[in-house]
Amino acid sequence: MTEYAVRLQDVTKTFGSHVAVRDLDLEIASGSIYGFIGPNGSGKTTTIRMILRIFFPDRGRVEVLGQAAGDCADERVGYLPEERGIYRRMKVRELLRYYARLKGFRDCDAEITRWLQRLG
C-alpha cells in the first residue's frame, strides 16, 4: 500500500482566464477519510475532478494510489458528492448499498456499517 492515497504537487487548473485551483499541494494519507469544505468557487469540485482524472491540471502532478496516470473509473476510488441527484430520497446506507452493487459487490452490509461507524 502506498503512503498516500492522494498526492497533489503544485497543481493549477484554469478555465479561460479564471484560475480555479492555484499551486495546490495536498497529501491524503492512505486509510484516512478526507472531506473538502469551503465556499462556492473555492476549487473543491475542480480538485476532486482532477483527483478522479475527469479534468487534468494545467500544471503540477496528481497521484492517486501511487499512480500519476489511469482511468477515472478506477475500481478502488469512490466519490459521493453532497448533492445526490436523482437519489435524494434514499438513505445514505441504501445509496451506498446501491453504488456497491453497481460495482459488483453483493454482501457488503457489514462493511458499510463499519464505514458509517467510522464517520461517527
Q: Can you give the residue ranges of every domain in the chain?
A: 4-64, 85-119
Note the pLDDT of residue 83.
65
Closest CA to 120 of 35, 30, 44: 35
Phi, psi of 36 (to 5 degrees): -105, 125
Instruction: Tell me the per-residue pLDDT of 27-72, one tens digit each, with 9 for 90 and over.
Output: 999 988 888 899 999 999 999 989 988 889 999 999 998 888 876 5
Note the pLDDT of residue 56.
93
Tell me if 43 sits within 8 A of 14, measured CB to CB. Answer: no
pLDDT band of residue 97 (cuts 50, 70, 90) is: confident
| Mean pLDDT along residues 88-103 | 80
Q: Where are the alpha helices (DSSP H) in the chain?
A: 44-51, 92-102, 109-119
| Mean pLDDT along residues 80-105 | 75
| Class of the CATH-defined domain 4-64 | alpha beta
Note the pLDDT of residue 82.
66
pLDDT for residue 15 is more than 80: yes
Q: What is the pTM of this model?
A: 0.67
Note the pLDDT of residue 85.
64
Note the pLDDT of residue 93.
82
Q: How many helices (H) and strands (E) does the chain have?
A: 3, 3
pLDDT for residue 90 is more than 70: yes
How far CA 65 is from CA of 4, 5, 59, 83, 87, in Å, comes to 7, 5, 20, 26, 29
